[in-house]
Chain A
């Protein structure tokens, strides 16, 4: 982390010259609201939206089109040089995933050791805080024009099952219930932290000297979460990570901002 901070400090000091940094007509701050749109790039099973209720006989309906995730974020950019600026943004992702849940039991009648609950829906939330270094192109003058952006950030991912409990019943040959197995999923909340990094290409246009329209494309990746996939961790760790990472791989964004 120290190395990264040092590199950023040196780059900022090198490329910025406050005296001759024009900004846009002297304005050097942008506050904006951004929408990231990303195709899910998920296994077909995830491309399912509807289910009646979790009763062991889930009916999933495949989507007709490739689904897109839409993520809102708030964004701040500060121009520091003629072709250089730093930005920070906060994004919030809310999505869904499906995971299998195993219940380990000892059933004397059948000698089975576990019961599998398949495709249990999870509510996923992720909070991103990113810092970016933006380098504007030859035809640009920060904050106007085309740019290349590198970002590095912190991601906090959280999962919660959509149902509070999972139940299944064992019945005998006569159809009578022998045993009821139940898992309280309501308490199974999992949190993961990780770093994400990526790059973007985009373009800022400025209207009426105040309104900034920013659009571009981002390629991003999330590092393996801290402490995830360790022994004893649940299967949902992988699901959360995988779902969020895929959410981030490629996204298109557009933002509307105000120039100050």
Chain B
């Protein structure tokens, strides 16, 4: 009891632990507090409860379809909640919940049924489940201009809940598709979805009316949706942002004019789930009627807090961009934030990472891990490609897409190394990650791009031209003939009252960006034009050649390539890795997966069986790790308890690491850059290794069923055909990957595809083999 006075201090420490000084750095968001109930209850339990409740209701129609809905909805929701992408108890979620408290102040019953979480995703979206869980993407928060917009979106989502749209749509669509089979009647699913959305808009407006938020929020929310495909701000991309005195991009790498942003509200929505903005605005306008905005505010909770959480969401968007390979967008987002926070180390580091990943993606590959990374059972976005396509882009971000589209592998590498080396010096060589990035970029340049020591010039463009002049006597100063392309200046158009002039939408609507154009430093771009345009990167390191460590690292990388060329490859190392016998004592077993499918059925995913087998598989993993003598920490999202917030955060961290690693399917030098998972792993779990396992088991369709039946009729083949008919056909895919987070490598990998059932002995045999190979140390003879 005597320490009870310390409690408020701990509470305060917890509350402020996520306060950040964004001028200096940004620490990625973490969840905090107790885990919500939805995490401690399994999807199977939730489904059984829902179905039991449904069965108790008398007179309920379409029970079969509703049961199906509960099954799919609960398991999908569970998968999403346990993906590690959900935030709760963090500043953004806390603020969103405060706004929800405010907007539903007059409807406490509804508020009590809603649970609101934030999803770490750059997609501008929000959605609601039938059980009152509302998920708001951080990408949406990053685009908001005020609290009122957020309130409007919450009202819309809450209306989906009150009107039970998700279950109603599911049942209707299933009914209609059955009718379509029986009587051929047409049913427009899009139209049905649009009707639900319009109803949610109208009902949302009614809820919004009861709040004290300004109606400008409603209009603002629609405008936000209209421009949701654009980055969170609209600022002209300054050409000098990535340049220095010697690394100057040719003018042809920049568009003279970027594509204007379409402002159309009445677009064709025939194949869209949502009505066009015009229809939505009209529906809401009809509902609201004459508007009296007096006494209503755009901010009711706190404008300062709103600005803070929006900034956090914007910083988070840079991190998420890296995770999901939106590198070019990440560069633009970094550019936007660096204008405001020029000394923020996180932004600079993130930018260096994005530049590195672009360079690595463009460079020729020398991949060891293609087999690992082309695992198709991973999540849907495992096959992401980096987007450099600029034709379809609009607004100022198009400039960045165009620039990176133009840059070739060597130029991208030179740009990345130029930026990262400067950052390394700025941080006084203290950042381990930046040092590692620099080293990798040297290798990327020398080994992958086959750059020789004399490729990069040691003289400035001016000096080089003079040399050319002296040598060839051909130099003529024609610089005055070449004009620098001035960025286009825009004029202001009408202003609208409800948008902030400085906001993204304000800028788009007003075309008011002309003042932002900086007069670029007057560099001698004519010289660059005079030299071959495609060789501008050869001057990227003129100043760096005066630094001995730069010269030394470059020459080491070139020597490495010479050695590799001689040996052709380091086969010995690869053999060791693939054969196991690693002598590892401890590891983290990370969130295994188990998928059971039935190929014979249309909805072939076996939810309950998958869930049960995952539990069994978890036990098998633990038992076999014990038997092999491994020390392990088992971290999964399924066995979390209310107080396991630290485990949840660790899980999120490792999961992000794993996903980033697996999405980087292009290069062995592709480092995992996005979080400090290794530090946590080392400090907390005292290991460098994370083991990830999974199984996909499929009940197969019998390919020769007709032949077998026919054969049985003819008696003589019956001894062969009857066992075939009686036997159940299965295929099982077993995956096991051991990551070394210190070296960013897969140190052990096992992938089996077997035509057999997933029996317990099968799982035990192969799992123990994996554990044994990890644990046992084998000394190979050279």
Contacts and interface: CB of A to CB of B under 8 A. Distances in A.
Given A20-B579, A206-B764, A209-B764, A139 B756 contact: yes
Contact of B762 (A20, A144, A209): A144
B776 A144 contact: no
B498 to A, nearest CB: 66
A66 to B, nearest CB: 15
Contacts of A141: 765-766, 769
Contacts of B760: 207
B776 A139 contact: no
A31 B579 CA distance: 30
A20 B772 contact: yes
A205 interface: yes
B768 A22 contact: yes
Given A19-B778, A207-B761, A25 B768 contact: yes
Nearest to A146: B756
Contacts, number: 55
Contact of B765 (A17, A19, A24, A207): A24
B579 A25 contact: no
Interface string A79-101: 00010000000000000000000
B362 interface: no
Interface string A199-223: 0000001110100000000000000
Contacts of B761: 24, 144, 205-207, 209
Given A20-B773, A206-B764, A139 B755 contact: yes
Given A139-B756, A141-B769, A24 B764 contact: yes
Contact of A24 (B579, B752, B768, B773): B768
Interface in B725-782: 752, 754-756, 759-762, 764-766, 768-769, 772-773, 776-778
Interface string A138-149: 110100110000
Nearest to A213: B761
Contact of B759 (A24, A26, A205, A209): A205
Contacts of A19: 581, 776-778
A26 B579 contact: no
A59 to B, nearest CB: 36
A141 B764 CA distance: 10
Contacts of A82: 769
B695 to A, nearest CB: 14
A26 B773 contact: no
Contacts of B752: 139
A79 B765 CA distance: 13
A32 to B, nearest CB: 15
A22 B778 contact: no
B756 A144 contact: no
Contacts of B756: 139
B715 to A, nearest CB: 18
B627 interface: yes
Given A19-B778, A139-B754, A144 B765 contact: yes
Given A19-B581, A20-B580, A26 B627 contact: yes
B769 A22 contact: yes
Contacts of A24: 761, 764-765, 768
A26 B765 contact: no
Most central of A22, A82, A141 by chain B CB within 10 Å: A22
A168 B581 CA distance: 77
Contacts of B581: 19-20
B412 interface: no
Most central of B627, B756, B772, B778 by chain A CB within 10 Å: B772
Nearest to A140: B765
Interface in B558-613: 579-581
A144 B759 CA distance: 11
A141 B761 CA distance: 10
B575 to A, nearest CB: 13
B765 A22 contact: yes
B759 A22 contact: no
A214 B776 CA distance: 29
B727 to A, nearest CB: 13
Nearest to B759: A205
A252 to B, nearest CB: 13
Nearest to A26: B627
A22 B765 CA distance: 8
A47 B684 CA distance: 75
A187 to B, nearest CB: 47
B148 to A, nearest CB: 62
A207 B133 CA distance: 44
A20 B777 CA distance: 9
Nearest to A144: B765
Contacts of B624: 25
A20 B768 contact: no
A105 B754 CA distance: 71
Contact of A25 (B627, B754, B755, B777): B627
Contacts of A205: 759, 761
A209 B760 CA distance: 9
A190 B344 CA distance: 99
B628 interface: yes
Contact of B772 (A26, A144, A145): A26
A24 B623 CA distance: 13
Contacts of A206: 761, 764-765
B767 to A, nearest CB: 9
B759 to A, nearest CB: 7
A145 B754 CA distance: 12
A26 B768 contact: yes
A19 B627 CA distance: 15
A213 to B, nearest CB: 10
Interface string A56-86: 0000000000000000000000000010000
A233 to B, nearest CB: 41
Interface in A1-32: 17, 19-20, 22, 24-26
A82 B765 CA distance: 11
B577 to A, nearest CB: 14
A141 B773 CA distance: 13
B275 to A, nearest CB: 54
A138 B581 CA distance: 20
B766 A20 contact: no
Contacts of A17: 778
A17 B778 CA distance: 10
B765 A20 contact: no
Nearest to B629: A26
A222 B777 CA distance: 45
B764 A22 contact: no
Most central of B580, B755, B762 by chain A CB within 10 Å: B762
Interface of A: 17, 19-20, 22, 24-26, 82, 138-139, 141, 144-145, 205-207, 209
| Nearest 8 A/B pairs, CB to CB | A206-B761, A144-B765, A22-B769, A22-B772, A139-B754, A141-B765, A25-B768, A19-B778
9 contacts: A20-B773, A24-B761, A25-B764, A26-B772, A139-B754, A139-B756, A141-B766, A205-B761, A207-B761
Interface of B: 579-581, 623-624, 627-628, 752, 754-756, 759-762, 764-766, 768-769, 772-773, 776-778
Given A25-B624, A139-B752, A209-B764, 10 more contacts: A17-B778, A19-B581, A22-B769, A26-B768, A139-B756, A144-B761, A144-B762, A145-B765, A205-B761, A207-B761
